Amino acid sequence: MHPTRTISKLLVIVIALFAVFSAMPAGASITIEDEKKLGREFYEKLLKSQVLIEDNKINGYVGKVGRRILESTEKAVFDFHFFVIRSKAINAFATPGGYVYVNQGLVTLVENESELAAVLAHEIAHVNSRHIADIVNKSQKLNLAALAAMLAGAFLGGGGDMTAAVAGFSMAAATSLNLKYSREHEEEADRLGIMYLVNAGYDGRSMLELLKLMRRYEFYSNTIPSYFLTHPGTDERIAYCDALVQTGFARAGAEAVIGRFKRIQTLLLLESDDIDSNLKHFQEGVEKNPNDVDDLYGLAVTEARLGLTPQALEHFQRALHSAPDDVDILKDLGITCFLGGKAAQAVTYLEKASSLTEDSEESLLYLGRSYYAGGDYAAALRTFRQLEKKKPDDPEIRYHLAMAYGKTNNPGESHYNFGLYFKKKHRFDSARFHFQIALKHYPKDGEKYRQIQNELDRMKR
């Protein structure tokens, strides 16, 4: 996503949240129900702005780690939700109500799963301890409108022009932006976080290593991680965490419990538009370890996007040799073959990818297209009908269904699906044309005729 468009969308979020929260008076105690409402509102604005990464595998993984941590805590007041934000900024934060956000940049920076778990454990501790509610309740100036600005400031990284824009909404909001978690808040979150971490089977030293890693990042990049702006007192926290590990949580734990964390980092890097940087990153990884499956896979996908198809196919095959049942490799190798005009080869890889997972919408889409390109229209139709059950409102699937029905001598369904496709695209004259032709292929007293007529009637209204 282009940085300017992202900033514009985030500014809209801040304005909307300010309007939502401003109705509550200053000085009012924030209740658990208030927290749930504010967290949900904040999430809905982020979702609408399209700044959240909506990859099931990525979000599923972060959610698994988060739930692993939650299993080691007492029964939480809130239902927790975990998300990854499409941003290179090194940040993570939790809003009231149990919504935990980790930036793409922080997930790709940490060195192992246990350090990611440390981030989540710390944020879960803030939520369970209701630290933001404590800040609100103790402040004489901070109402929930100012809280909206504070939360948005945390989300935006707490620096630069956007912080000034947030602060500009009101003097109360400007004042509130100087409020950060107190030393007591951070100590409690570190203390609880390490306890959660160790009880979940992770290495408690990961909390300490996480803070040291971000300190090194700051030193080498001359960029202060956004995380430090909302979670202050880093030197004190490093000393405190070191003491906690030495005195109470010295037993060794695992660096990985869920496993395959590097694949999630690879997928997140591939979400980025910085293809040249990705190419360099994966090339360096393969140079260090020529058999690293994740770096080979990332390099192959990047080369395919750059149009370097022969090199991409070579690196896909090398990765597949080490991991013959890897769904990601099979899927993207199949897609690369299809886009390169090798439909028969694409079918081989995409059939296997689809058989290995239920979460296979992209594999099924390109499998159907590969069948169609190879002239197996009946198989293409079966595949697109599978997709129709998963995503009935997707216009792309309607288009491919229309084409496949046409090739299998079913003009009524072909025109009906073309009608639905054009309707979704708001090309209503074309939709009406296809619906009217589709009507001619069905008896007037039949259910399908009524269904098509209803579509025409709705467009008239």
Residue 305, Cβ density class (10 Å: 0-12 exposed, 13-18 middle, ≥19 buried): middle
Average pLDDT over residues 418-425: 97
Determine the straight-line distance between the first and last CA of the chain, rounded to whole angstroms.
Answer: 36
Average pLDDT over residues 55-78: 91
Whether the per-residue pLDDT at 167 is higher than 50: the answer is: no
d(CA 391, CA 420): 13
Mean pLDDT of the chain: 85
- SS3 assignment, position 92: strand
- Give the pair of three-digit tokens for residue 120: 């989540």
For residue 127, CA distances in Å to 329, 332, 365 come to: 38, 39, 40
Q: What share of the chain is helix, strand, coil (3-state, %, to 5)?
A: 70, 5, 25
More confident position, 75 or 453: 453
- The 10s digit of each residue's pLDDT in 212-226 is 998 888 777 767 777
CATH of domain 325-391: 1.25.40.10
d(CA 133, CA 293): 45
Long-range contacts of residues 438-443, Cβ cutoff 8 Å, at least 24 apart: 438/411, 438/412, 438/413, 441/411, 441/412, 441/415, 442/412
Which of 38-42, 195-199, 346-350 shows the lowest mean pLDDT across its residues?
A: 38-42
Q: How many CB atoms lie within 10 A of CB 137?
A: 13
Predicted local confidence at residue 144, as pLDDT: 57
Q: 441 Cβ partners below 8 Å, 6+ apart?
A: 411, 412, 415
Predicted local confidence at residue 140, as pLDDT: 55
For residue 310, CA distances in Å to 145, 298, 306 come to: 56, 15, 11
- What is the CB-side half-sphere exposure of residue 337 using CA atoms within 13 A? 26
Predicted local confidence at residue 145, as pLDDT: 56
Residues in the chain: 461
